[in-house]
Structure 1
Amino acid sequence: MDECLPLKNTGLRGVDIASSKICDVQGKQGKLIYRGFLVEDLAKNATFEEVCFLLLYERLPQKEELEEFQQSLKQKREVPESLYSFLKILPHDMNPMDVLQAAVPLLGSNDKTLDLEPNLENALHSAENLIAGIATIVAAWDRIRNNKDVVYPDNDLSHAANFLYMLKGEKPDPETTRFFDAGLVLHAEHSFNASTFTARQVASTKAHMYAALSAALGSLSGALHGGANVRVMKMLKEINSPDKIDDYIQKTLESGGLIMGLGHAVYQTDDPRAIVLAPMSKRMGEIAGQPQWYELSRELEVKAKKAFMDKKQRQIYCNVDFYSASLFHAMGIATDLFTPLFAISRTSGWAAHVIEEQFAMAAPKPSLYRPGADYVGEYCGPDECVWTDMENR
């Protein structure tokens, strides 16, 4: 191989591949914007259902529109009995993300609009079906794998409250519901991250919504994407005590390892979502009688930031995973469900991107995503390799 041959292994970072009206991530300013609205304003003032409407329909709903949208989601919460039967035959030790990715096509098998001509109206129907159905699947799987009866949806409850009810079998208190709802809002969209790019790439082939989101789920399942908050919680449990923080940081930095939840590919300041999540984690820990996880996170954040500055002469910042881990843990949610929770929320953003890719983009764009690559493989000489029979190799 020519040692001077330049490589372009950039992971597409810094490469704009399409135009979008859905989301803007301003890394230097620490701003995350959904269709013009700062995410912290939405987390403070909007319900998850309002944000779903905003992402799908490009504006906030009027009162009557929101009520109609909420009712439509409620009608789609119940999944086919065949899907429950499918979940019951799976090994109970399967990873929840693998289960969810396998179940989404079955959810699509009940969507009769897939037999019709693709259009915006049918895509919106599929989006609602996925937003409602994925939450039901995650809750049902957790109960099935723990040998508990499935809890069917309660249509008197909001999306956030109903999920917690289906998961635990009891209705959540208003404060927990509000924190969980805000958590869904904060995870709903984040521009062209790995899973969203995956969804749009699949959508560019004219595959239907369920195929695109099933692929996105596979991308989200990776430890460097949706699985990061799982690793944050494992890290906190490994440290376990404030007096072990300094030693953990030192060993991690010396070995070239990562302190999970710190650092981001885009933000050059603290992630605005982390700023919202931190006080919720603190309060939820107090409610649950488990303040130690927030306190450990906070001390780790302060000391790790200082250590990075002292040893690497650079700053490092919190991302969304750093405090979402302790927040969800204080809610009594199993650690391996953290990534499925991400999916429950991000389904709304993925669906909006699929719709934009297939139906809503006015500007000219490629009909199919097809990036190139620099071939750096071996040649046998100045020309192509010459075939050699087996006995002469």
Structure 2
Amino acid sequence: MSSEVHVKNIGLRGVTVADSAISFIDGEKGVLIYRGYRIEDLADNSSYLETAYLLLYGTLPTIEQGEKFVERVKAARRLPEFVYQGMKQFPADAEPMDILQAVVPMLSMADEYGDTFEREKNIDRSIGLIAKLPTITAAWHRIRNGLEPLPPDQSLDHAANFLWMLQGEKPNAATARDLDICLVLHADHTFNASTFAAREVVSTRASLYAGVAAGLGALSGSLHGGANSRVMKMLLDLEHETDIAAWVKEWIAQGHKIMGFGHAIYKTGDPRAVYLKKMGKRLGEQTGQNWFAISEQVERATLAEFTQKGKTTILPNVDFMSAPVYYMMGIPLDLMTPIFAISRVAGWCAHIIEEQFADAQGKPALYRPKAEYVGEYCGLMGCEYSPPAKRK
């Protein structure tokens, strides 16, 4: 077989594959918009569930619509009993992202709508997944530590309830609001790898659950959702480092990357990272923890190295800034990517529904990209088959 490598359009970078009205990015100007609204405006004034409503329905809710939506989410928080029992049989050292990807298809077994694809039915399914992903994550964390899962607290909002189910203590209002803002910031991001995976899967008329499971699988990869935990591991390793600038210089000289820098789209700064940096600074001051201070030293040293070497400046991204924020909230390292999923599920569901009703007849357009064949070629008749004994 030919050993020649000839690949075009690696990773589909720059290739437009579909129309979408859900979110928009201007990478040159550092702008992220959900359904026409700037992410900064939503982070300052909205809530995660209101933002989820916006993504699913295309408009911000009225007071009555918003209250009804919140109640629907609260009513859907608990898992079916067979799911709790099933989770107790999983290996205690299983990765939380694997648990999420395993449990979401289990939820499809309890779906009352069967294989119905009407838009409103999929809105109901979306609300169920938005409500249940925090429950799955918190329940698994307790189960793996030999504890019983805690029931949802219907008096608490979305972020506060998750922290309660995870930690067994009701969080203070400031921490709950900070986490809620984080969820707003991560709720959607156009055609990233996990969203594309979700849309591609449901283009076959697979279920919304299958699409979300595909999104979870893509998000679990270290080049997508797994970067924030790797950033935090780096910061933990640097806790007692006396000269972080020297460490950064040596690390880069050895050919290593500083985790959490650079982005495929943003060239002048990730607006989510800008927001999280302010949050990290405030949390560091409030808690007395030094993780933001360490991250700031790494950032300064890394940017200085790029400048000194005359390289294009690569700015810190959302993973770099979210890692110390989550850690100071008491989120374990291996739950940082599940937090991402707890937020992004609203965007995945919005994209899935958009994909499922891609044309006027409410039919998805089956994704079928074309590849350029670069393998062995012996003409239209194909290569001559030789028996094993005659092969060299």
TM-score range with shorter-chain normalisation?
A: over 0.9
For 1:230, the equivalent position in structure 2 comes to 229
For 1:293, the equivalent position in structure 2 comes to 291
For 2:95, the equivalent position in structure 1 comes to 95
1:340 aligns with 2:303: no
- What's the offset of the Cα at 1:258? 1.5
1:23 aligns with 2:30: no
Q: 1:131 to 1:382 in 2, by over 3 A?
A: closer
Greater mean alpha carbon deviation, residues 294-303 or residues 137-146: 294-303
Select 1:350's aligned residue among 335, 348, 351: 348
Specify the SS of the correspondent of 1:314.
coil
Greater mean alpha carbon deviation, residues 174-183 or residues 235-244: 235-244
The one-letter amino acid of 1:156's match is S
1:256 aligns with 2:234: no
Q: 1:284 to 1:309 in 2, by over 3 A?
A: same
For 2:166, the equivalent position in structure 1 comes to 167
For 2:372, the equivalent position in structure 1 comes to 374
Contact 1:242 / 1:296 at 8 angstroms: preserved in 2? no
The one-letter amino acid of 2:26's match is Q
Contact 2:205 / 2:364 at 8 angstroms: preserved in 1? no
| Separation of aligned partners in 1, 2:236 and 2:148 | 30
| Separation of aligned partners in 2, 1:363 and 1:339 | 36
Greater mean alpha carbon deviation, residues 327-336 or residues 383-392: 383-392
Contact 1:217 / 1:343 at 8 angstroms: preserved in 2? yes
Contact 1:119 / 1:359 at 8 angstroms: preserved in 2? no
The one-letter amino acid of 2:319's match is D
Q: 1:114 to 1:285 in 2, by over 3 A?
A: farther
| Separation of aligned partners in 2, 1:118 and 1:220 | 25
1:234-249 equivalences in 2 (<5 Å)? 234-241=233-240, 243-249=242-248
Q: 1:365 to 1:272 in 2, by over 3 A?
A: farther
Specify the SS of the correspondent of 1:113.
coil
Q: 1:234 to 1:374 in 2, by over 3 A?
A: same
Greater mean alpha carbon deviation, residues 94-103 or residues 352-361: 352-361
1:324 aligns with 2:322: yes
C-alpha RMSD of matched pairs (Å):
2.0
Q: 1:105 to 1:174 in 2, by over 3 A?
A: same
Q: 1:361 to 1:57 in 2, by over 3 A?
A: farther
Contact 2:355 / 2:364 at 8 angstroms: preserved in 1? no
The one-letter amino acid of 1:102's match is A
Q: Which of structure 1's runs of 4+ aligned residues deviate more than 6 A?
A: 1-5, 363-366
Contact 1:143 / 1:150 at 8 angstroms: preserved in 2? yes
Contact 2:51 / 2:184 at 8 angstroms: preserved in 1? yes
Contact 1:105 / 1:214 at 8 angstroms: preserved in 2? yes
For 1:39, the equivalent position in structure 2 comes to 39
- What's the offset of the Cα at 1:388? 1.0
Q: 1:366 to 1:90 in 2, by over 3 A?
A: closer
| Separation of aligned partners in 2, 1:114 and 1:370 | 27
For 1:52, the equivalent position in structure 2 comes to 52
Specify the SS of the correspondent of 1:24.
strand
For 2:280, the equivalent position in structure 1 comes to 281
Specify the SS of the correspondent of 1:112.
coil
| Separation of aligned partners in 1, 2:220 and 2:4 | 36
Q: 1:381 to 1:35 in 2, by over 3 A?
A: closer
**What per-residue deviation string (whole Å, max 9, x for no partner) do you get for residues 136-191 of structure 1?**
00000001001112111011111111000100111110000110000000010000
- What's the offset of the Cα at 1:366? 7.2
TM norm structure 2: 0.95
| Separation of aligned partners in 2, 1:144 and 1:365 | 41
Specify the SS of the correspondent of 2:114.
helix
- What's the offset of the Cα at 1:201? 0.2
1:60-75 equivalences in 2 (<5 Å)? 60-75=60-75
| Separation of aligned partners in 2, 1:226 and 1:30 | 20
Identity %: 50
Q: 1:240 to 1:257 in 2, by over 3 A?
A: same
For 1:303, the equivalent position in structure 2 comes to 301
Unaligned 5+ segments in structure 2 are none
| Separation of aligned partners in 1, 2:264 and 2:344 | 18
- What's the offset of the Cα at 1:378? 2.6
Specify the SS of the correspondent of 1:189.
coil
**What per-residue deviation string (whole Å, max 9, x for no partner) do you get for residues 340-389 of structure 1?**
00000000000000000012655999721111112112346896211111
| Separation of aligned partners in 2, 1:154 and 1:8 | 51
| Separation of aligned partners in 2, 1:218 and 1:203 | 14
Specify the SS of the correspondent of 2:204.
coil
TM norm structure 1: 0.95
Unaligned 5+ segments in structure 1 are none
| Separation of aligned partners in 1, 2:2 and 2:342 | 47
Specify the SS of the correspondent of 1:218.
helix
